Amino acid sequence: MKKNCAAMLAAVLAGASVLFGFVSCGNKDGKSGSSEKVLYLYNWTYYTPDEVLAQFEKEFDCKVKVDSYASNEEMYAKIRGGAKGYDIVVPSQDFCSIMIKQGMFREIDQSKLTNRNHINPVVLQKATYDPDMKYCVPYYFGAAGISVNKTKVSGDYERSWGIFADKRFAGHATMMDDMREVMGDALVHLGYDVNSLDDAELKAARDLIENEWKPNLVKFDAEGFGKSFASGDFWLCQGYAEVIYGEVSEEKQDETIDFFIPEEGGPGYLDSMCILKTAPHYELANEFINFIHRPEVYAKFLDAFRFPCFVNMDAEQFMTTKPMYEASQMNNCVLKEDVGEGLDKFNELWQEIRFGD
pLDDT of residue 237: 98
Residue 333 has pLDDT above 50, yes or no: yes
| pLDDT tens digits for range 170-191 | 999 999 999 999 999 999 999 9
CA distance 271 to 334: 14
pLDDT of residue 289: 98
Return phi, psi of residue 325, to 5°.
-160, 165
Do residues 138 and 124 make contact, with C-beta atoms less than 8 angstroms apart? yes
Mean pLDDT, the chain, integer: 90
Residue 155's pLDDT band (boundaries 50, 70, 90)?
confident
pLDDT of residue 319: 98
Residue 335's pLDDT band (boundaries 50, 70, 90)?
very high
CA distance 345 to 257: 35
pLDDT of residue 222: 79
**E strands in 161-308:** 173-175, 217-220, 236-239, 257-260, 267-276
Nearest to 342 by CA among 156, 194, 127, 171: 194
Do residues 300 and 309 make contact, with C-beta atoms less than 8 angstroms apart? no
Q: How many residues does the chain have?
A: 357
Residue 35's pLDDT band (boundaries 50, 70, 90)?
low
pLDDT of residue 33: 44
